[in-house]
Amino acid sequence: MQFTVPKASLLPALLLSAVVGGTFATLRNYGPESTVRSLHTAVKAMYEEQLSGKGISAQRWAEIRSLMVEDPGESPRDLNGNPNAMRAINGLYTEFRNSARYSLAKMDRFPREVRVAVVYSHENGQRYPIVYVVEKPSGSRQWKLNATKTIQANFLN
């Protein structure tokens, strides 16, 4: 038995596929968990660049800066940058230097703020969480890491 599809029904199916695919492609890097994942990816890439003897590219640093509420400065050596932002970046950098693996474990949502728990696993079996506070600043469409609140959530309680 041969199955045939009327050509007229293919057009709506293709159109619907394009709309769904476009929506998911647009939204895959949107949201608080994507911000945390993107920051991890960017800092890991920065670590690997330095490990291979390259300096930190301006593009990589701009990517990291774009993911944060507080500005860490024009470069990693900028002493005028926000110290909490630099502390968050350096802490994450240290995790990669120590060969940590990470996984996003849990999210607690509040209005315009999300706390994302990331569990770091080390080769010696040690595991521990760090809570990243991500917020959507007023007037912004992008979620960003709030380094000050992240440090307060983890180290000041």
Interatomic CA distance for residues 99 and 70, integer angstroms: 27
CATH number of the domain at 30-155, out of 2.60.40, 3.10.450, 2.170.140, 3.30.360? 3.10.450
Question: What average pLDDT does the segment 60-85 reach?
Answer: 91
The total number of residues shown for the chain amounts to 157
Q: What is the mean pLDDT of residues 130-156?
A: 91
Residue 25 is predicted with a pLDDT of 44
Residue 129 has pLDDT above 90, yes or no: yes
Residue spans of the domains in the chain: they are 30-155
Average pLDDT score over the chain: 85
Range 92-96 average pLDDT:
93
Question: Where residue 27 falls among pLDDT bands split at 50, 70, 90?
Answer: very low
pLDDT at 54 over 90: no
Predicted pLDDT of residue 99: 92
Q: In sequence order, which residues have a C-beta less than 8 Å from that of residue 120 and are 6 or more positions away? A: 95, 100, 101, 102, 127, 128, 129, 130
pLDDT at 24: 47
The confidence band for 98, taking pLDDT boundaries of 50, 70 and 90, is very high
Q: List, in order, residues 6 or more apart from 22 with CB less than 8 Å away.
A: none
CA distance linking residue 7 with residue 12, whole number of Å: 10
